[in-house]
């Protein structure tokens, strides 16, 4: 499976427009090979939005980017709502049956693998992208205890239900 980790810098004055546009990506659910996407705001500093998309494989993702992404992007009105974007692709062996559990969570903690672990109510995945630092993704239904959350080199994301897009595989 291919995971796409997206971080967008969002100025405070466009935060609402970004959120509304992000909620319009629902047609993505019918893209071939798309398994789901979740996302939300950094906590407690909401100047960054984070998204994690699950794709069957590189071929399906490439098809989406070549044929479906740009028209959908235009349709959402997302242009101009963020000031910067960073994208990381990660390869993973994930059982698609696990995705509904991951997509149903409320919090996502992303750290580098050498950071202390936190208790999570769902699986923890450590993934490596091509030429990138490995990332650990830990899902939880309740906000992780700040005393257990690494203070540096980590991102805590409060997931937004409105940005959730379950896929059809």
Question: For position 147, which CATH number holds?
Answer: 3.30.70.100
Most confident option among 56-60, 109-113, 123-127: 56-60
Stated length of the chain: 169
Residue range 133-145: average pLDDT?
75
- Domain of residue 74 covers 2-166
Contact (CB, 8 A) for 127 and 63 = no
109 or 29: which carries more pLDDT confidence? 29
**Is 67's pLDDT higher than 60?**
yes
**Is 150's pLDDT higher than 60?**
no
Structure tokens at 31: 């893209």
Alpha-carbon separation of residue 81 from 65, 76, 165, 169 (angstroms): 20, 11, 20, 29
Chain centroid, CA 68 distance in Å: 19
Angle separating helix axes 58-67 and 69-76, nearest 10 degrees:
60
Q: Which pTM value belongs to this model?
A: 0.87
Number of domains in the chain: 1
């Amino acid at each position: 499976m291919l995971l796409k980790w997206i971080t967008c810098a969002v100025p405070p004055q466009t935060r609402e427009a970004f959120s509304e546009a992000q909620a319009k990506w629902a047609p993505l659910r019918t893209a071939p090979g798309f398994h789901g996407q979740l996302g939300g705001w950094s906590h407690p500093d909401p100047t960054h939005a984070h998204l994690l998309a699950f794709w069957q494989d590189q071929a399906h993702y490439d098809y989406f980017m070549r044929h479906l992404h740009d028209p959908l992007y235009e349709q959402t009105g997302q242009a101009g709502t963020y000031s910067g974007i960073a994208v990381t692709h990660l390869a993973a062996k994930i059982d698609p049956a696990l995705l509904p559990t991951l997509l149903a969570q409320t919090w996502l903690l992303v750290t580098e693998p050498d950071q202390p672990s936190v208790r999570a109510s769902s699986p923890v995945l450590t993934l490596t992208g091509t030429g990138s630092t490995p990332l650990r993704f830990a899902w939880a239904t309740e906000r992780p205890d700040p005393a257990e959350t690494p203070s540096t080199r980590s991102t805590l994301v409060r997931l937004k239900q409105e940005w959730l897009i379950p896929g059809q595989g």
